[in-house]
Structure 1
């Protein structure tokens, strides 16, 4: 456990030590301390191991509300590995948590990555470790504080849906993908973003993964500084809070969190960070178990249903209909806005997911591959969008 706590690249119990010191600024009173101990003795084990950050740990703050339940905390206490915890929640993507180890050594222990998503996540662990080394956490947090003001991503989607009567568009600035290769050779992220906005996109999604999607945080920053007014989603494979602060420092207004990768406690922790920064979290699900997990988490505003399996890359738009038929009532009760993702190429596709219950769509490939990505929006919806 101590070795895990020392690592900045694994889940919550590893990351709490570097959380900014704004959350809890006082020690609990004797009565409060007793209450917290009754909630979870493990909380105090963690805090005791993080003596250099005192009582203002994010873990202590989580213990004082209902964000974390006792069952989850007992899993950490009982010494389950990150992969054991993930597997208990139906997550099939494994983590190696060894960013400094040679890939051959990792594969000798775990075998080769079992699918493209796992391959991406293993590479992301190394990338995030390198990011920490180049730009320490404290520096990234300070840069996030000085970033341009946050724009209302969630509000922009709701307004566009009401304005046009069709799902609000999150148009994706995307050069390539592992399954399709290069989508656009002549790729200018600023020109594409401006064309999307001019033709009615409510928000923009900027791919920042370099190795597999040929994106970059530089593209995100360029678009933010280009005069584009649409709120921006950082489309990244988030496994560490460093990425969220770094995205905010580059001008992101929203961040993607993938339930197929992140255990519940990580999602809750990242939601808390997003709330502190004023950002929106788009939580992506692919199947019924992921949807059930996410709907049990408080504070969720935006759920994306990805019709593409990130393990097999097979697309099936009926996935959206199936999940919303089963969980639509709960989603409406919680006033969650649903985003349809993948497999959307024409007005019939958009109408299908709208009838299923989505209020927004995230579309990249079918737009960015066109000669004029902006004008392609009217072809996608069958009409011009107001903006």
Structure 2
């Protein structure tokens, strides 16, 4: 089977090289958002008064094709925030996920007080500078496609800019890449080499995540019972995108989900 992650990362190297020619680091550093103080996603996720949900805006994926091409990033992310999302995740990869840096900037413009994760395949310092310039608070590093030294270097670079880091793992051996500069550890239930989903992956790895790290479960979460189970396993955050985005009305779907979750947690 074709390794989708390898294909994405190969293209990302070419893409980043081209973007460096289009916009210099000095230009990025002059953008007004580059000077803003980022919010802490880890703090928001651990706030007992919030849902713990990182609600994602995602138009399409390599495995599913177009998920939702009829909604705007402003309407969807504003609704996510209004109904209690602890954080937002915005896809900025264009070729494989149909996203863009402009999507994140539009989300930031209408969501001043909610932390935003730049969801992309980060392999270079330049993308972290970009993340800061477009208004992100958190970057994603994927253990599957980075060495331990690369994770350490990129995480430290992000922290120096005031950004938090979510390290995404899919297997126990990848937890060896967690460093002091990682604030959040996400367990992706989706295998990025095949895009198959196994919801139990999060529960299996939960106890092995180092103490002091905010635990995030990613992918395959499609009902409130799953969040109750994941909370019992020690997770603080729950990244959900496809489930809401595939609905005809993502804002309404999110509102209903949060209401149902609150009822279950109150019992």
Distance 2:33 2:232 in 1: 40
Partner of residue 337, structure 1 = 214
Check 1:289–1:150 CA distance in 2 against 1; reply closer, same or farther (3 A cut): same
Deviations 1:100-148 (A, max 9, x none): xxxxxxxxxxxxx941111101111110000111112333344477443
Q: Does 1:383 align with 2:261?
A: yes
Q: Which deviations, in whole Å up to 9, do the C-alpha atoms of 1:35-59 show, x marking residues without a partner?
A: xxxxxxxxxxxxxxxxxxxxxxxxx
Quote the offset at 1:357 in angstroms: 1.7
Task: Report the structure, 1 or 2, having the larger strand content.
Answer: 2
Gaps of 5+ in 1: 1-112
- Greater Cα offset, 253-262 or 271-280: 271-280
Q: Verify the 8 A CA contact 1:144 1:246 in the aligned structure 2.
A: no
Quote the residue 1:354 is aligned against: 231
For the residues of structure 2 that align with 1:146 and 1:351, how far apart are their CA atoms? 37
C-alpha distance in 2 between matches for 1:146 and 1:169? 26
- The 5-angstrom pairing of residues 174-213 of structure 1 reads 174-213=58-97
Is 1:310 matched with 2:165? no
SS in 2 for 1:357: coil
Q: In the alignment, which residue of structure 2 is the partner of 1:294?
A: 177
Give 1:368's aligned residue: 245
Q: Is the 8 A contact 1:140 1:242 kept in 2?
A: no
Structure 2: 5+ residue runs without aligned partners?
A: none
Deviation at 1:301, TM superposition (A): 1.5
TM-score (norm 1): 0.64
How large is the Cα RMSD of the aligned pairs?
A: 1.9
Structure 1 residue 265 displacement after superposition: 1.2
- Report the CA distance between 1:150 and its aligned residue: 1.4
Q: How does 1:25-104 map to 2 (within 5 A)?
A: none
1:116 equivalent in alignment to 2:14: no
- For residues 52-90 of structure 1, the C-alpha deviation after alignment (integer angstroms, 9 at most, x for no partner) is xxxxxxxxxxxxxxxxxxxxxxxxxxxxxxxxxxxxxxx
Match of 2:142 in 1: 258
Residues 1:148 and 2:36 are matched in the alignment: yes
Aligned equivalents of 1:212, 1:204: Cα separation in 2: 20
Aligned-pair CA distance for 1:154? 1.7
Contact preservation (8 Å) 1:259, 1:294: yes
Find the aligned partners of 1:185 and 1:227 in 2 and give their Cα distance: 21
Counting matched residue pairs gives 262
Q: Structure 1 residues 355 and 207 mapped into 2: Cα distance closer, same or farther (>3 Å)?
A: same
* Relative contact order higher in (CA < 8 Å, ≥ 6 apart): 2
Cα offset for 1:372? 2.8
- Cα distance change on mapping 1:384 and 1:373 into 2, 3 Å: farther
Deviation at 1:298, TM superposition (A): 2.2
Aligned-partner Cα distance in 1 for 2:44–2:22: 34
The alpha carbon displacement at 1:197 in A equals: 0.6
Question: d(CA) in 1 for partners of 2:257 and 2:189?
Answer: 17
Tell me the secondary structure at the aligned position of residue 103 of structure 2.
helix
SS of 1:260's equivalent?
helix
Distance 1:216 1:142, change over 3 A: same
Q: What TM-score results when the alignment is normalised by the length of structure 2?
A: 0.92
Q: Is the 8 A contact 1:305 1:341 kept in 2?
A: yes
Q: Give, in whole Å, the separation in 1 of the partners of 2:234 and 2:262.
A: 22
The residue number in structure 2 matching 1:163 is: 49
User: 1:202, CA displacement in angstroms?
Assistant: 0.8
Question: Do structure 1's residue 214 and structure 2's residue 75 form an aligned pair?
Answer: no
Q: Using a 3 Å threshold, how does the CA distance of structure 1 residues 163 and 241 change in structure 2: closer, same or farther? A: same
Mapped partners of 1:302, 1:146: distance in 2: 22
